[in-house]
Each structure stands twice: as structure tokens, then as C-alpha cells.
Structure 1
């Protein structure tokens, strides 16, 4: 069943807020949009930036396909469906496209990068795509409704390869997490009472834990065997937080969580105690990725229009890249030699993208 215009609009708004993406407060009338660039623009220090499409969300590297896959909702007027772009990981040139009947948002892959698992947030779907052939292998449509009667929008998806399980966060109130069989795309279980909007997800396979961030300022600790919520960690300072994305350093028992609300920080939780040991004064924070070999923490700052590299031990800022208008998600290449960034543009009033959105490659050698 196709969502009504009202449902689609509400889902788009809720998804935008939960993702911490292009500002609704600065929504504008639709301007003239340039034609996508065929090649990337060279920036200082070997950085490449490619204006790709309207509606760019997450990027994932597939070793099996030797490609960077980018999910796009094709957020343009009178456009139905989305595209999965296959980019050359060195040049960002397009090597292929998979046109999908639903709009695409988040991506997860298996360890070899053979299968892409893509969320279709507005149309409440989860789609499996063969990374090599581009063929759609299967789909699941979620039927759960939030307390206001609207359908939940699937946001982030993460794969527990050992158990063949996909976890998908649902945007709505109260939030939920779907537990899905990765081979058959059938629903195994639903984890409810997950707070307002489930935003970020992160697995700790060694501890048998799933961490989930939410709009109530909580980090949920979930047992991956029983799917029971074991703990609800909060910053504990009485401030308002909308927690978004997570990164984990198991060697030092640190969980990094971004906030893009009044807190405007990166919180550092001790996973042994659930207590916040540091709040990093880096400003509004959204995407986050840890590079253990470089002892580096990468953070996107939407409002600042920048990406920062922090020393993962001292938290000192090593480098800052200016990538306006709204840096969004991060992906580190498997060999650790490149960082990929998606860059959003503000929404128009109808939730289409006001400009072409970009993919950036930052060399880390």
C-alpha cells in the first residue's frame, strides 16, 4: 500500500529530524538545480568532491564489487523511486546505477560486500540488492504504526553476520527496532519501548550487545540473544539531548555518541559503567567514525559545514575540512586509506533537496 501524501510528509519530516539531516528550519522555495557533475572536483590536499544527485544519504564500500555504493532518495519534484549509485572508490566516477522503485536512505553490507541492505524510510521498506549484479534480491515492508497513527520509518540498518540478523531502527514515538532474518528478509522479532525515534545502531559482537541511540537522549543496551533492553544510559546532567550516531572502541571500553541538539557535543560513555566520562566541546555533531590504526575519530558538523579529525586519545582536533553546506555520513575504506563523506543540502518546503548533494573522498595516507 502506498502511503498517503500526509503520511509521506510526516515520515519525511520525522526521518529528517531523526537523521539530523538538512535543516527544516531553513527550508526554502525550490531554486534552479545544476546538472550533476560527471567527474569529481579536485580540492586541496588530494580531496575529491563530486556533485552527484539530490537526495544523497549514506555511502558504503563493497570489497566484492570494488565500489563505493551511495544511496539516494532522488529528492526532486515529480520523481518516483531512488537510485543506488556505484562509484569508483578512487575517482568517484559513476560505474553503474540501480534504479529502485522505492527511495533509498541507509545502507549496510555483509563482510564481503556482496549484498547491500537498504532502508526505504518514507515507504517503510527494507530491500536487499546484489552488489555485483545490481539486482533486487528481496524486500520487507514494515506495517507497524506509531502512537499518532502514522507508519514508522526505517532509519539505520546494521547486520550481525554471525547470526544472520539485521537490526533496523524505527523512527516514530515510541521508537522500536525490527529484528530481521538477513537471508529471507522475514521479521523475527520487534523490540519495543525504545524511546522517541531510534536513530543510531551499533553492534558489539564480543559482548553480545546492540547499542541504540534515541531522541530521548538515551543509549539503549540490548542483549542480542534475548533482545531484551538491559540498560538505558543517559548523560545524567539534566540537559536535553537528541542522540544520533555511535562509534565504539572495544579496546578502551569507550562508546562515542553524537548529539545535534542543545548538547551539541560528542559524549564518551564507559561501556563498563554506562557513565559519561567526557563531553567533547566540538559543537553540533552528527556522523562519527573511529579509525583505530590512526587513533583518529572523525565527526561531521552539519551546522558548521565541516568534518573534523580528532586524536582518539587526547581528543585534540588534528584537522578540519570545510565541506558546506551540511556534511552528513561517514565511511572509512576497508584499507583505512580514505574517508568518504556525504554532503547534504537544505530541504525545500516540499522536502525535496534544494541543490545537488555530494560525495567527498578524503585521502588518509
Structure 2
């Protein structure tokens, strides 16, 4: 049966130091010819296992010059390839440039979901289009992660940031095809970090260093220190606004600071109750909630910088989360969870019977988990019914949680023990707790976002910082045996963060990503649409680019 040609629409967000507009292709149309038969998935896997990837010879993509037109997304360049209409454009954006890639059925124009394109950009040499053989060979090198494939920008990668026990941060590339070292950069800190947070742009990392009374502003692409902001009191917890323009910093003392992320300076000090503080943005990004150890829960308007609401909930508030319009506040020593509904002006207190040290919400918003580290317990709260749903006992000093699509993972405070529970099993009264170990070694506890594990964007992999192995262990979702490890050649890692640079599906058939590009360059875009199709390459950028320097927050 002839395979039905599918289509998709992809949106690539490419961040650069200047605005870029995609140029029209100058190539003439290639005569239409029947495409070569696709490579089967089994054949592609066999060739990949043999150490090389090949595709049948194919004609260069046919450029549809008549279809070139202006659009809300800039000048479009359209080509046709194996029954697909592929269009690309770039437009100025607040932080660099926005690139748009549309892939639709060449006959129906319909889009699809479920497509996972991979793309790379190489600097173009001359005006001639890449030949099919050269396009296929280069794309094969990119797919293998070969170091020989130099001079390219990948639009489907991620990096690993590690916070190490010797007060350094390392940047690792997990996707290059070598085993001895994947280290790309290292930065030494002026002391122990308390918390770290990534700007929504993905290009700036903030690190609080209490003993130096400094907040560090770091370029996450190369670990370049952009700024050191000295603060009156020692900074701890961090919260970045959804638009990336504000950074709020909880201090040791009765203060919370506001940092302008564009100017990299302290612009406002808010007098609050004594710390430590828990910070969280509401679903309305103009509302910041601050819980202090003294017992006051404050609502702050981030535009006027005024306190617009206050609740006295009791001393010892240790954690704060926002879900489905409700606030979850944990009182550590009281062993109490308070669910506040600001819209209904109501609240409900749940006695959990043990200290509440950490609080986390499942992605669905249905379940909340409260960790009692000393008691070795995780309590499950049903937020739909606002009641205690169940208890997971027997955890070894649980201190942090992370979620994949189907599982919740617990990490120990002292030893490298992990445990997991399938989220779908929470409907049952006694979900099974599965434990697994990554070798024992004491680790230093951190606050806020700093945790020893992280899940991939798609939720199908778990990455665990292993001090004993001086490595990152990689687990497939739901598996208790490590699928591999990534060595950290510098020191023992104690916290991990993934910095995504890969295509993200924002809506069915629509993807975004970020990358750093030279807007004056013209590039060849290498597009891989799966083993059942041949790769396609065509020119983008450069000729119609306008140079507008912009700040990247």
C-alpha cells in the first residue's frame, strides 16, 4: 500500500546577536522526477550499527520560486521534496531572530503532528546548492555526532550543566561521539552555590553564592561570566519571571531583592519576614508569591512592586508551589500543608503528621508530593479533592523529586539511592515503590532548583549526577539499570541541569528551538525527517539579513 504522505508545520526559534531575515533562493527549479524508494527503518538501523549511514541517490530539492511570498513570518522560501512542501523564513525577534520552518503535504497543504525533524546549519560556500550526495554524507555525520562534522550549528541538541563539589560548574556535550571527554567549558565560583536558575531564553544562568554575597550572571552557552552583582545580604532562593525580565532573590534576612535581567543590577528591595524564603510566580505572571519563615505569605504585583495581599499562615513555612490557580504552602516543623485558593478567598489545612521539607507537583496538576526527609516518607495529596491520598514509606532520607511523563523519581539526601513510582498507579491505594542505587557517597544538600537529577524534555530519560562515579548516569524511563554514563572529568557533581537546544513541539506540527548564529552568514539547512525519507538541504539566511544588535536576557 502506498504510504500516505504526511505533513507538518515546524517553527524554529533561533537566537542570535542580530536580527535575520531568510533570503530567497536563486536556484532554478529542477525537473520533476519520481523520488527514490525510501530506506526502511530496519535497513537504516542496520547501516547505523555498521558505523555508516547511506541513503539512495536523490535529485536536489525542487525550488518553487513562484511560491515565494511575504508572510507574517518574513520572506518565505519554499521547496518540494518527496511530496512535501517545505517553507522557511526568518524574522526579527526581541532576543535575536525567529526562524520558521513549515512542512506540509504538497497536495493537500495539511499539517501533521508526531513528526520529529532534526536540523543542522552549515556556513554556505558559494551560490550553488548542495548536491544530494554531499547533503546525505554531511547529514550522516551530523546524525552520528562525529567530531569530523565541524563548522555547524545543531538545532536538536542539549547540554548538561553540573554544579560540582569543588565550587565549579562544568558544561558537557552528551551528544558528541567520543568517550574520554565531553567537556566544553568550566567556570570556578567564588564559593558554595545555594541555588541556580535558568532564564526562559535558555541562554543565561543565575547562581546565588551566599558566602560571597553575590549573584552571578553566566552565559550558559559557554560558561562566560557576564556580571557579578553584589548584594547587601547573602542571596539564596531564586525565581525568574516567565518573561525573563525579572529575577527575584530571597536573602538571608528580612529582604527579597529584584534584579533587572537586562541591566544586570539591583533595582528594588522588598522588606519581608525573615528567611529562608520560598518564591513562586502565579499563573498570572504579574503575581509573585513569597513565603517567609516568619509566617507571612505575601502577594506582590511585579509591575507596581507593591504588596497587594498578605496572609498569616503560621511560622516555619518551608516550601511553596502554584498549581491550577491554587497555592500550596508547607509548614516544615508543624507537618502541615496549606492549600490556598486566592480566587475563592479560602484555604484548607492538611495535617500530614511529619515534617514537610520539600514540595513538588506532578505535571498534570492532580497530585502533590510532600517529602519528610528525616521520616523517610513521601505523602501524596490529591489536589482535586484537597485531601491526603496516601503515603510512601521506606525512602532513604528523600530530599528532591523530579518528574518524567509517567514516573516520579525520589533522590536521597545522603546516599545515591533513587526510587520511583508510576504516576498512573496513584489511582490505586498502595502504588508500588521501586528502589535502585547508583553507589553510595554523601552529597551536600542544596536549596531551590539545585537537584541531583533531571529529566529530558520529552520525559523519556532521567539524568542523575553521581559523585561516586564522577559522572552523569542515564536511565531510560521506568528502568532501574543505567543505560549509560557521561564522564565529568573535573570533579564530583552534586547538582545537574539540562539546557535544551533541541526542537520542541509547541503544538501539533509546530516546533521551536534556540541557537547562536551569525546573521551575516548564509547557511545550508540540513533537514532529517526520519529513516523513511531522504535528507534534504537548501539555503537559508544571509542575503536579505538586516543587522540589528539586540540584548539576549
TM-score band, normalised by shorter chain: 0.5 to 0.7
Alignment deviations for residues 224-283 of structure 1 (CA, whole Å, 9 cap, x no partner): 1332222111246xxxx3222211113xx221122213x443333333233124334474
Q: Distance in 2 between matches of 1:329 and 1:172?
A: 28
Residues 160 and 166 in structure 1, CA contact (< 8 A), matched pair in contact too: yes
For 1:154, the equivalent position in structure 2 comes to 317
Of 114, 118, 127, the residue aligned with 2:290 is: 118
Q: Does 1:217 align with 2:376?
A: yes
TM-score normalised by L of structure 2: 0.42
CA offset at residue 214 of structure 1?
1.1
Structure 1 pair 182–46 and aligned structure 2 pair: CA distance change class (3 A): same
Residues 352 and 379 in structure 2, CA contact (< 8 A), matched pair in contact too: no
Aligned pairs (5 A) from 1:52-63? 52=229, 53=231, 54-63=233-242
Gaps of 5+ in 1: 1-20, 23-32, 144-150, 339-365
Alignment deviations for residues 25-50 of structure 1 (CA, whole Å, 9 cap, x no partner): xxxxxxxx75747x747799335486
Helix, strand or coil at the partner of 1:206: coil
Structure number with bigger Rg? 2
Q: Does 1:81 align with 2:236?
A: no
Q: Distance in 2 between matches of 1:282 and 1:199?
A: 22
Q: Distance in 2 between matches of 1:332 and 1:190?
A: 37
CA offset at residue 295 of structure 1?
5.6
Residues 59 and 329 in structure 1, CA contact (< 8 A), matched pair in contact too: no
Structure 1 pair 328–157 and aligned structure 2 pair: CA distance change class (3 A): farther
Structure 1 pair 294–210 and aligned structure 2 pair: CA distance change class (3 A): closer
For 1:181, the equivalent position in structure 2 comes to 341
Helix, strand or coil at the partner of 1:102: coil
Of structures 1 and 2, the one with the larger relative CO (CA 8 A, separation 6+) is: 2
Residues 59 and 70 in structure 1, CA contact (< 8 A), matched pair in contact too: yes
For 1:193, the equivalent position in structure 2 comes to 352
Residues 202 and 211 in structure 1, CA contact (< 8 A), matched pair in contact too: yes
Residues 296 and 310 in structure 1, CA contact (< 8 A), matched pair in contact too: no
Q: Distance in 2 between matches of 1:243 and 1:165?
A: 25
Paired positions, count: 276
Structure 1 pair 330–57 and aligned structure 2 pair: CA distance change class (3 A): farther
For 2:247, the equivalent position in structure 1 comes to 69
Structure 1 pair 292–189 and aligned structure 2 pair: CA distance change class (3 A): same
Gaps of 5+ in 2: 1-192, 195-210, 426-430, 477-481, 505-511, 516-553
| Superposition RMSD in Å | 4.2
Of 301, 305, 310, the residue aligned with 1:139 is: 310
Residues 289 and 298 in structure 1, CA contact (< 8 A), matched pair in contact too: yes
Structure 1 pair 208–178 and aligned structure 2 pair: CA distance change class (3 A): same
Q: Does 1:94 align with 2:273?
A: no
CA offset at residue 108 of structure 1?
1.4
Q: Distance in 2 between matches of 1:87 and 1:329?
A: 26
CA offset at residue 103 of structure 1?
3.6
Structure 1 pair 114–44 and aligned structure 2 pair: CA distance change class (3 A): closer
Residues 419 and 436 in structure 2, CA contact (< 8 A), matched pair in contact too: yes
